[in-house]
Amino acid sequence: MTRPHYLIEFHHIGAYVKVSVIDPVTNTETSIVGDPRASEAELTRLAVRKMEYVLKKNQDAAKR
């Protein structure tokens, strides 16, 4: 199975970082708000995890 490619954006806003993730295949967008002291890798991991959760949830809903 190939790993999906997501578009990831980081926006530093004051005391937090907003990480937006876009799946170019489904045009689904999710975002998280994180601590700016966290590593970019950790914020990316959390944001991608949320995206995968939302995609699975949408896929399960479509099956019903």
Q: Is 28 helix (H, G, I), strand (E, B) or coil?
A: strand
Is pLDDT at 53 greater than 90 in this prediction?
Answer: yes
Cα separation, 5 vs 12, in Å, equals 23
Is pLDDT at 2 greater than 70 in this prediction?
Answer: no
pLDDT of residue 1: 45
Give the pLDDT mean for 15-40: 97
Q: Does residue 39 or residue 2 have the better pLDDT? A: 39
Q: Residue 40: CB partners within 8 Å, gap ≥ 6? A: 10
Is pLDDT at 18 greater than 90 in this prediction?
Answer: yes
